[in-house]
Amino acid sequence: MIIHGIEGVSDGERLADEIGEKRFVGYIRADLSNSDEALELIERAEKLFGGVDILVNNAGIQHVAPIEEFTLAKWDKVLSINLTAPFLLMKACLGGMRARGWGRIINVASVHGLIGSANKSAYLAAKHGLVGLTKGVALEMATSGVTANCICPGFTDTPILEAQIKAKAAAVGGSYQEGVQELLREKQPNMTLLPPAQIAAAVEFLCGDDAAGITGIAMPIDGGWTAQ
């Protein structure tokens, strides 16, 4: 297994060691907004393992602002990491997967790949685009033994929400936890931030043989958000 991030190599390797007590886990630092670094990530992973059989595109950033205030630089940054990077990484991996007759692509999109919210124009464009891109890849790979699917989480307990939670807390003059509840009250009926482990469990299932017939889907894990 290879994990990647923008953390320093020592921090990444420490995390890899924690995960990899019973298996080999390596860490490769890469800034996925840089296309050269994205492609180098795959090249280095292939040198270590001889090929990439499972690709999980989970990197993501968000910027919240009305569209009139959304700068082109912010737009480009969100699209480069949330949509262009998955395109490049899939493109680099799919030839080998097809040749070996087996592969799994899991793109972590968002509930915002299925519905809309105000002040998130770039994120919406990227995540809707990722869902569409995944469907296209699934159809192109339909007879190859390679599947491609999206997972669409709702509000999940990760750092990407921190700025929004703090803004909600400030708006009501409350604590951070009160900000969490305000954020959830607007959208997510179960009123609970999703544990990342639940998203990981869905990834694990889609990578297994029992999911061989599942391709091209966008699976919501959203606490009831899209049921409304």
Residues assigned a catalytic role: 123
Residue 7's SS3 state is: coil
Amino acid at 197: A
- Determine the distance from the C-alpha atom of residue 201 to the mean position of all C-alpha atoms in its chain, rounded to a whole number: 14
Query: Which DSSP symbol is given to 188?
Result: -
What distances in angstroms separate CA 207 from CA 54, 60, 90, one per listed residue? 7, 21, 15
Asked if residue 217 lies in contact with residue 131, where contact means CB atoms within 8 angstroms, the answer is: no
> Is the CB of residue 195 less than 8 Å from the CB of residue 157?
yes
Pair of tokens at residue 5? 């991030």
Residues whose CB falls within 8 Å of the CB of residue 212, separated by 6 or more in sequence, listed in order: 147
